Amino acid sequence: MAQTEANPQSGTTVMAIETSPYPMNMMCTHCGTQVVTHTVPTPGVLVWSLSVPLCYFWFCCCCLIPWFVYECHDIEHRCPQCRTHLATYRRCCR
């Protein structure tokens, strides 16, 4: 589901795209084709906010656990043809 929001300061219209952690049908803004996105997990705010307290309060090796848990990562949606970054699904701080 896409929503458009007008930005009165710049006079442009910004497309707010509701993302999911799964591959999505999207129009690539670079090559202009309709694609099913390629998803790439990337460490985001949730990984850092879990690993820092784990490192501080427990053994340092525990701070690495969030880095290997897929469900803690943000998901980047990329075009499978030109690899352009199209959107990001954030686990927290959306």
Residues that bind Zn ion (CB under 5 A): 28, 30-31, 79, 81-82, 84
Shortest spacing between CB 33 and Zn ion, in angstroms: 6
Query: How far is it, in rounded angstroms, from Cα 89 to Cα 93?
Result: 10
The torsion of the CA quartet 92, 34, 29, 73, rounded to 10 degrees, works out to 20
47 vs 76, which CB is nearer to Zn ion?
76
Shortest spacing between CB 4 and Zn ion, in angstroms: 21
Helix-, strand-, coil-residue percentages of the chain, each rounded to 5: 25, 35, 40
20 vs 84, which CB is nearer to Zn ion?
84
Phi, then psi, of 39 in degrees rounded to 5:
-100, 140
24 vs 72, which CB is nearer to Zn ion?
24
Shortest spacing between CB 14 and Zn ion, in angstroms: 20
